C-alpha cells in the first residue's frame, strides 16, 4: 500500500495546502477548519437523479458525497441538508435561510435560482438580486460559503433557448461571490457536464456520475485532498436519427408534460417533501436515521403509484407515430402524431318472448366486435441547415394536453392521499 499524504490546511480555502508524506492509508488526511456544514437549495443539492436506497429520502447526491469526504477528515464533522426539490429562490430564502442560521454552520453551500431561470418570462437579474440578499444574510455568520453557477445547456436542444439567461445569471453569481467573498463551483466550466451520460433520464438533473463530478469540483475549490477519481461513463448506444426522436417524444411525455401540468396547477414537485437531513449529525455513509423512515415510506408509496399509473397508461394504447421524412426545398420535415386506439367485443343471447320458450322468433343470439383509432398531428421535426428542432402544432397540443391535465390531476390526488397516510 502506498504511503498517503498528510495535508495541513493553511486557513485560506483559495490558498495552498501543505503536503507531507505519512503513514500508509487509503484516504488522504487533512486538518480542515470546518466542523458544521449545512447545504441549502433545491433538487440539485437534495440529490435528485442520484438514487440510493440506503440514504435518507432514497437520494445521495453531491452534497452527501462531499460531506462523506470531510467527515473522514474531521471526526467532529456534522452535516445537515435542508434542500428540497422544486423550490424557487424566494421559497429557499423564506424556508431555509433562518433554519440554516439556527444550526450555526461554519461551511454553507447554496445553489438557488435554477428553477426560476428556466421558467418563461423570468429575469435573471431579478433572481440574482434575491440571491445577493440571501448571501448577505448568510455572510453574517462568518461561514465559508459555496455558490454554484449553472451548467452550460448548449448540448441539450430543449434547453438551448435559455442558454443566454443561464449565462447572464452565472455572471451575476460570480459578482455576488466576489462581493461577499464566496467560493464558486463553476459548473459552466466543467466539460464533463457537456456529456449527456452525466445526466439523468429527465435531462434536467445530474445522475450519479454527475453528482460525483460536482463533489470532486467542490472539494477542489476548497483545496481538500481526497481520493475521489474521475469516473468514465458507459459508452452511448448507437442510435439512428429516428430512434433519437422517439426518445425525445418519450421524454416529453414522461417529464416535460408533467412539468407543464405542475406549472398550470401551480404545484411543485417539492410540495409535502421534507428535508432529508434537517438537523446536523455525524455523517455515516449510507446512514438512514429513524426519523426519515416515514419519508422513505412516502417515497416508496409514490414509486408504487407511479409504476401503477405507468402500467395503466400503457394499456390505453397511446403512442407516438412518425411520418416519413419529406424534403421541401432543402428542409427535412418529419411529421409527428399522437395516436390512440381501442378495441371491444361482446356476445349474448336474448330472453324468451311472451310466446314462451317455443317462440323462436322472440329469442336471439349474437356477437360482435369493433375498434377504432385516432391520430392527432402534434407537430413536426424540422431540419434546416443541419439544425433539427421540433415545431409544434399548438392547437393539436392543446387538444392532446387536456387529457394529460385530467390524468395528472387524478394522479396528484392519489399521491397526496398516499402521503397523508
Is 48 within the bounds of a domain? yes
Same domain, 184 and 100: yes
Q: Is the model more confident about 95 or about 25?
A: 95
Same domain as 317, residue 205: no
240 lies in a domain?
A: no
Is the model's pLDDT at 147 over the cut of 90?
A: yes
Measured at the CA of 76, the angle between CA 69 and CA 143, to 5 degrees, comes to: 80
CA distance 305 to 302: 5
* 308 in a structural domain: yes
The yes-or-no verdict on residue 210 having pLDDT over 70 is yes
CATH of the domain at 209: 3.40.50.1110
Q: Does some domain include residue 274?
A: no
Only one residue has cell 375498434, namely 371
Residue 79 forms part of a structural domain: yes
> Which one, of 79, 72, 167, lies nearest residue 117 by Cα?
167
Q: What is the mean pLDDT of residues 120-140?
A: 97
What is the C-alpha to C-alpha distance for residues 382 and 325, in angstroms, rounded to an integer? 9
Any domain includes 4: no
The number of C-alpha atoms within 13 Å of 47 and in the hemisphere containing its C-beta is 26
Gap between the Cα atoms of 37 and 80, Å rounded: 6
What does the pLDDT look like over 173-198, one tens digit per residue? 999 999 999 999 999 999 999 888 89
On whether both 324 and 213 belong to a single domain, the answer is no
- The model's pLDDT over 378-388, given as tens digits with 9 standing for 90+, comes to 676 667 666 66
**Total domains present in the chain:** 2
Look up residue 33 and give its DSSP letter. Answer: S
Mean pLDDT of 339-350: 53
Domain shared by 77 and 226, yes or no: yes
Model confidence at 318: pLDDT above 50: no
Last residue of a domain, one of 231, 249, 279: 231
- Report if residue 45 sits inside a domain: yes
**Are residue 80 and residue 212 in the same domain, yes or no?**
yes
Are 74 and 34 a contacting pair, CB within 8 Å? yes
- Domain co-membership, 306 together with 223: no
Enumerate residues 6+ apart whose C-beta is below 8 A from 277: 56, 79, 80, 81, 82
Within this chain, do residues 155 and 299 fall inside the same structural domain, yes or no?
A: no
- Residues 403, 321 share a domain: yes
**21 vs 318, residue with greater confidence:** 318
C-alpha R_g of the chain: 27
Q: Is residue 19 part of a domain?
A: no
- CB contact at 8 A, 185 and 218: yes
**298/197 same-domain check:** no
How far apart are the C-alpha atoms of 43 and 55, rounded to whole Å? 15
Mean pLDDT of 67-87: 94
The pLDDT of residue 172 is 98
pTM over 0.75: no
What is the distance between the alpha carbons of residues 176 and 113, in angstroms, rounded to a whole number? 13
Q: Which three cell numbers stand for residue 340?
A: 390512440
Which pLDDT tens digit goes with each residue over 231-274? 877 777 776 767 766 766 665 676 666 666 666 667 666 667 89
pLDDT at 410: 66
Res 307: pLDDT: 43
Domain end position, chosen among 183, 198, 231: 231
Range of the domain at 107: 29-231
Chain centroid to Cα 216, Å, comes to 20
Average pLDDT, the chain: 74
Amino acid at each position: 500500500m502506498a504511503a498517503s499524504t498528510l495535508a495541513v490546511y493553511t486557513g485560506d480555502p483559495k490558498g495552498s495546502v501543505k503536503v507531507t508524506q505519512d503513514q500508509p492509508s487509503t484516504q488522504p488526511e487533512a486538518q480542515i477548519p470546518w466542523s458544521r456544514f449545512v447545504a441549502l437549495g433545491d433538487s440539485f443539492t437534495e440529490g435528485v437523479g442520484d438514487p440510493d436506497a440506503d440514504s435518507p429520502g432514497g437520494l445521495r447526491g453531491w452534497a452527501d458525497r462531499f460531506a462523506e469526504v470531510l467527515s473522514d477528515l474531521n471526526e467532529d464533522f456534522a452535516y445537515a441538508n435542508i434542500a428540497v426539490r422544486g423550490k424557487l429562490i424566494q421559497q429557499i430564502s423564506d424556508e431555509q435561510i433562518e433554519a440554516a442560521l439556527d444550526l450555526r454552520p461554519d461551511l454553507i453551500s447554496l445553489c438557488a435560482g435554477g428553477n426560476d431561470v428556466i421558467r418563461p418570462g423570468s429575469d435573471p437579474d431579478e433572481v440574482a438580486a434575491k440571491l445577493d440578499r440571501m448571501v448577505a444574510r448568510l455572510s453574517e455568520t462568518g461561514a465559508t460559503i459555496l455558490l454554484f453557477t449553472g451548467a452550460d445547456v448548449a448540448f441539450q436542444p430543449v434547453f438551448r433557448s435559455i442558454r443566454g439567461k443561464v449565462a447572464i445569471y452565472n455572471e451575476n453569481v460570480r459578482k455576488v461571490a466576489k462581493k461577499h467573498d464566496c467560493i464558486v463551483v463553476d459548473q459552466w466550466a466543467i466539460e464533463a457536464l457537456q456529456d449527456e451520460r452525466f445526466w439523468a433520464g429527465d435531462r434536467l438533473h445530474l445522475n450519479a456520475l454527475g453528482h460525483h463530478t460536482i463533489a470532486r469540483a467542490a472539494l477542489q475549490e476548497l483545496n481538500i485532498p481526497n481520493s475521489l477519481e474521475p469516473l468514465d461513463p458507459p459508452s452511448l448506444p448507437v442510435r439512428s436519427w429516428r430512434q433519437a426522436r422517439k426518445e425525445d417524444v418519450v421524454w416529453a411525455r414522461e417529464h416535460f408534460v408533467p412539468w407543464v401540468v405542475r406549472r398550470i396547477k401551480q404545484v411543485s414537485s417539492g410540495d409535502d417533501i421534507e428535508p432529508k437531513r434537517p438537523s446536523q449529525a455525524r455523517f455515516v455513509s449510507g446512514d438512514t436515521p429513524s426519523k426519515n423512515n416515514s419519508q422513505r415510506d412516502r417515497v416508496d408509496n409514490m414509486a408504487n403509484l407511479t409504476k401503477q399509473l405507468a402500467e395503466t397508461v400503457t394499456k390505453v394504447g397511446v403512442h407516438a407515430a412518425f411520418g416519413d421524412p419529406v424534403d421541401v426545398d432543402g428542409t427535412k420535415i418529419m411529421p409527428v402524431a399522437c395516436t390512440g386506439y381501442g378495441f371491444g367485443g361482446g356476445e349474448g343471447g336474448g330472453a324468451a318472448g311472451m310466446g314462451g320458450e317455443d317462440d323462436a322468433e322472440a329469442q336471439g343470439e349474437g356477437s360482435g366486435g369493433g375498434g377504432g383509432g385516432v391520430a392527432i398531428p402534434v407537430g413536426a421535426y424540422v431540419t434546416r441547415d443541419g439544425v433539427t428542432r421540433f415545431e409544434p402544432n399548438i392547437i393539436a397540443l392543446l387538444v392532446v394536453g387536456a387529457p394529460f391535465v385530467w390524468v395528472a390531476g387524478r394522479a396528484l390526488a392519489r399521491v397526496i392521499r398516499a402521503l397523508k397516510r
